[in-house]
Amino acid sequence: MKSKQLYSTKQIWKIILSIFALIIIGLSLWYTNHLAKKIQDEERLRVKLWSETVKKQAQLINLTNQTFDQLRAEESNNIQDWAFALKESSREQNDYTFIYSFLSKTNNIPKILEYVDLKSGKRDVTFSGNDLPYNREDFESKEEFNDSVRTFLQTWDSLNTPIKIPNTAVQFQMLHYGNSKLFEELKNKQQSLISSFENELIANSSSIPILYVDSATNEIRRTINIPQEKIKDSATVAATITQLSSENPRIEVSFGGENKGYIYYAESTLLKQLRFYPWVQLIIILLFLMVSYFLFSTFRKAEQNQVWAGMAKETAHQLGTPLSSLMAWLEIIKADGVPDSSIQEMNKDILRLNTITDRFSKIGSEVKTTEENIFSEVEKSIDYLRSRVSKQVDLSVVGSQQAVAKINASLFEWVIENITKNAIDAIQGKKGSIKFVVSENEKKVILDISDSGKGIPSANFKSIFNPGFSTKERGWGLGLSLVKRIVEEQLKGKIYVLSSKIDHGTTFRITLKK
């Protein structure tokens, strides 16, 4: 029972160590997720604070836009008044002071007058004003000069609709005007603020993936820490936006009117790596433990094999001397006239001892295997045991009588004897049976050994083959361990508990290569 307690204690320690390992892993994962959560909260807070700053910038831009619109409306009204004053100045007046006051109101607005005269039957165009971009003397002809000025005026006309000032039925003027210097300065300031916002986006993003999209055109205004392949076409852009939106809600930034954009962002690469780090660490540790366990198991197994082989060979050596002496004494007894029947039985036991010595000498060594009839070998083994076990135990062999496998007969006989003795012990002196069933398939010969003993708990199916494991008061736990070593390491087969039921018996299965 001591060996059973030893294995129970071993199992308890395994469970304790496993629980301890799980606690360590759980604490590691919890702490890493705790750190990741803190970093995530900090990133979100940083994006939130930054977005508030952006909104303040947007409010400033909105204010600039309002001023911008007011200035545009005021300049438009002034230029309309200027056109009206220009028209009135062509009429005869007693006092031109009021008219000149209107004309002077728009000195800061660039203007060019286009005179169109149809008197001669053809269209005669003349441009005049202080804001002409070209001089007439720079061109060979008036037509070239006019074409160049028209090209220049296309930019102004796209911003402000020219005003037609009729003089007579065949003569009129077109007033072309651009934006004032103040207007342009304000516009540049607006662009500067927007650019400042985009630069702020870069400066505060750190390693956070950010996508800034114009809401009106769906055009990407800025990307940060996003691979090019994720925004190479409309499909990938849509997929990227969907992915970013699933991680964090988008931030809307308005610059007044329809001029607004959306900020999409995700967790930083560092945060994602931190989330995966404990799992990677866990896999590395598990791989290290598996390799270490495999190496230590291999070394321990090799060491055990050497101990087994050394003990077996030493046992065979120690048995050799008294065995030789017994054979000599048997010859002396023959000469003293002892009955032949007694001498034959003694001779059987001496031959048995010789067989046992031969078996021990083969443990841990390369053994020669030959093709043998398994049914016959099992019959031979139990014939020796029948006269030496209780008459209450019935031993029988059934099944395929032609099954042949490669075995070492001496070691195979030892396997049968050990399993049979364990089965007899399991019957515990009661009436019972041990049945050997031989069968075969295309590749293997199968031997099932069933007894009617007390059975084995399912938790011990593997443990019973471990050295030192025994349920007997004075058992050493070496019989089935030796059986497993012979079957699997020297006969290249397999042995395991096929089935067992408490108080109903156990079935062992041995498979051997044909």
> Using an 8 Å Cβ cutoff, are 167 and 113 in contact?
no
Residue 360 burial class via C-beta count within 10 angstroms: exposed 0-12, middle 13-18, buried 19 and up: buried
Tokens coding 164: 């037609």
User: Which of these three, 182, 211, 239, is where a domain ends?
Assistant: 182
Digitized pLDDT (tens) for each residue of the chain, 514 residues in all: 444 555 566 678 778 877 887 888 788 778 877 777 787 777 777 766 666 666 666 666 677 777 777 777 777 777 777 777 666 666 654 444 444 455 556 667 788 888 888 776 667 777 777 788 888 888 888 888 888 888 888 888 888 888 888 877 778 888 888 887 777 777 777 677 667 765 665 555 557 787 888 777 778 877 777 888 888 888 888 888 888 888 888 878 765 556 677 888 887 777 777 777 777 777 887 888 888 778 877 777 776 666 666 666 666 656 666 767 777 777 777 776 667 666 776 777 777 777 777 766 666 567 788 999 999 999 998 888 887 788 889 999 999 999 999 998 888 998 998 899 889 988 888 889 999 999 999 889 999 999 999 999 988 888 888 776 666 655 556 778 888 988 998 889 999 999 999 988 999 999 998 8
CATH number at residue 465: 3.30.565.10
Question: Has residue 68 been placed in a domain?
Answer: no
Distance CA 233, CA 215 (A): 17
Q: What total of structural domains would you count in the chain? A: 2
**pTM tops 0.75, yes or no:** no
Per the structure, the complete domain to which residue 493 belongs is given by: 366-513
Report which residue type is found at 250: R
C-beta of residue 425 within 8 angstroms of C-beta of residue 479: no
User: Is residue 80 in a domain?
Assistant: yes
Q: Virtual CA dihedral for 470, 474, 478, 479, nearest 10 degrees?
A: -90
Distance CA 505, CA 394 (A): 14
The last residue of one of the domains, among 182, 207, 240, is 182
Cβ-in-10-Å burial (0-12, 13-18, 19+) of 244 comes to buried
Q: Which residue, of 135, 153, 182, is where some domain finishes?
A: 182
3-state DSSP assignment of residue 185: helix
The burial class, CB within 10 Å (0-12 / 13-18 / 19+), for 375 is: buried
Whether the CB-CB separation of 341 and 350 falls below 8 Å is answered with: no
Interior angle at CA 491, CA 485 and CA 495, nearest 5: 55
Tokens of 188: 């540049």
In a domain? residue 95: yes
Q: Could you tell me which of 392, 307, 321, 376 has the C-alpha nearest to residue 353? A: 321
Q: Considering Cα of 240, then 242, then 244, then 247, what sign does the dihedral take? A: negative
Say if 389 falls within a structural domain.
Answer: yes
Whether 279 maps to a domain, the answer reads no
Q: Does a structural domain hold residue 103? A: yes
**Beta-bridge partners for 126:** 115
Local structure of 371: helix, strand or coil = strand
